[in-house]
Chains A and B, each alone.
Chain A
Amino acid sequence: MPRLRPWLIVAAAVAVAVVVAGGYLLGASTAPDEHDAHAERVDAQRVAFKQGYAKGYDRGLESGRDAGAAAGGREGAPKGAEDGHATAQKTIKRALVVTKPSSPARQSGGGAASGPPLPGSGGVLVVGDSLEELTSPFLQKYLPQTQLTINAVGGYNSLQIYQLFQESYDPSQSVIVFDAGTNDNPAYPEILAGRLQAVAQQIGARCMVVPTIHGLSVNGVDSSGKNRVVRNFAASRPGTQTPDWANVVATHPELMQPDNLHPVPAGADYRARLIARGVKACLRGGSSSGAGFGE
C-alpha cells in the first residue's frame, strides 16, 4: 500500500468540506422560507374563501328567505287589515255624509223621482277618451253640487276605458258615465257591447250614462253598429241615459274641429250639457225609457 502524502490528505479534507458546505448552502438557499409559506397560506386562503363564500351564501340566502317571508307576513297582514279597515270606513263615512242630506230631497223629489233610490251616495264616475278630456272641464259647471270623479285618457278604446272604470269605481258612486267606443274599430261593435255588459254587472242598480258615438269610418264602416249597441244596451237596462252626441254632430257640424272627430270648445260645452242632463236624470231617478236626448 503506497504511503499517503500529507498534502493529499489535507487537499481531500478541504475538498470534502467545500463540497459539503457548498451543497448545504445551496440547498438552504432554495428551501421555502417564512415569506414563501405566508404567500402559500394567503393564496390558499383566497381560493378557499371564494369557495366557502359561495357555499355559505346559498345557505344564508335560503334561511334568510324563510325568515324574511315569515317576518313580512307578520308585518304586512296587520298593517294591511288596519289600512283596509280605515280606508273602507272613510269611504263609507263619506257616502253616509252625502246621502243623509240628499235622501229627503230625493224622497220629496219635486215630483221628479220615479224609481227606487240609487245605490251609492250620489257620486258620479266619468270615464272616457279624448272626447271626455275635452268635455269634462265643462261638466262641473253643469253639475256644481255633484261629487265628480273623472278618469279619461285620449286615444283609449272601450277595453282600456273599462280598465279606467275598474281603477276608479267606488260603491259610493251612484252614476257611471261610460264615454267609450269612439276609438273602437267600427267593424267590431261587440267589443263595446261586452264592456257595457261588464260595467253593468259590476255596478248593480246604479245608473249609467252612455253617449252615442260619432267616430271615424274605417274601411267604409261607420259608427252605426256601435250606436246600435248603445241603444240596445239602454233598452235592455232601464234607467240608462244615452245623450245623443252622434245626432248633435250630424245636425251641428260647426261644433266640430276640422278632424270631424273632436268638438271645438263650444261643442265640448254642448256635449258636457248633454251628459250633465243624463246624470241629472239618473240622480232624479228619471226616465227609465233608455231613450236618448240631444237635439
Chain B
Amino acid sequence: MTMVALAVVLVLAGLGVGAYLVGHSGGEDLAAAREAGTSAGLKAGEHRGENRGYERGFEEARAASFSHAYAEAFRDEYAKAFRRIGVPPPLHVNVPDVQSDATSG
C-alpha cells in the first residue's frame, strides 16, 4: 500500500514539474531581446558619438589651424610688402588675434 502511495506521489510530482516547465517556456525570449537591444544601442551610439566627435575635432582643429595659417601668411605677406619697396622688414611683426568666423560644417 505504501509503495503504491509513493508511486502515485512521484507520478503527480513529475506531472507537476513537467507542467511547470511547459508553462514557463511559453514566455518572451529574453536573450533575443538583449541581443536586439545591444545591436540597436551599438549602432545608435556609434552614430551619435561619431557625429559629436567629428564636430568637436573639426572645431578645435580648424581654430588652431586657422590661427597658425593666418599668422604665418600675415607675417610672410607683411615682410614681402616691405621687401618689394626695398625696405628691410621688421624682425617682429604683431599679428592681430583673428578668429575663424565660419560655423562648423
Identify the A interface with B (CB < 8 A). Answer: 12, 15-16, 19-34, 36-38, 40-73, 75-85, 87-89, 92, 119, 166-167, 169-171, 202, 204
Contacts and interface: CB of A to CB of B under 8 A. Distances in A.
B29 A37 contact: yes
A69 B70 contact: no
A53 B56 contact: no
Interface string B1-34: 0000000100111011111111111111110011
A83 B46 CA distance: 42
Given A65-B61, A170-B90, A44 B37 contact: yes
Given A58-B53, A60-B51, A166-B92, A72 B69 contact: yes
Contacts of A21: 19
B70 A65 contact: no
B81 A41 contact: no
A76 B95 CA distance: 13
A31 to B, nearest CB: 3
Nearest to B104: A68
Given A37-B33, A48-B42, A67-B58, 6 more contacts: A20-B18, A27-B19, A31-B23, A33-B27, A48-B45, A87-B74
A53 B98 contact: no
Contacts, number: 296
A56 B66 contact: no
A58 B57 CA distance: 9
Contacts of A76: 65-70, 73, 100
A44 B11 CA distance: 42
Interface of B: 8, 11-13, 15-30, 33-82, 85, 87-96, 98, 100, 102, 105
Given A32-B30, A76-B65, A61 B24 contact: no
B41 A48 contact: yes
**Interface residues of B: mostly helix, strand, loop or mixed?**
helix
Contacts of B46: 52-53, 55-56, 59
20 contacts: A19-B19, A22-B16, A23-B16, A26-B20, A27-B21, A31-B24, A40-B30, A48-B40, A48-B41, A50-B45, A59-B46, A60-B54, A65-B58, A65-B60, A68-B59, A71-B58, A83-B74, A88-B79, A169-B92, A204-B88
Given A45-B41, A65-B57, A76-B67, A56 B23 contact: no
B63 A23 contact: no
B64 A72 contact: yes
A21 to B, nearest CB: 7
A68 B57 contact: yes
Given A44-B37, A49-B41, A69-B61, A92 B82 contact: yes
A72 B100 CA distance: 8
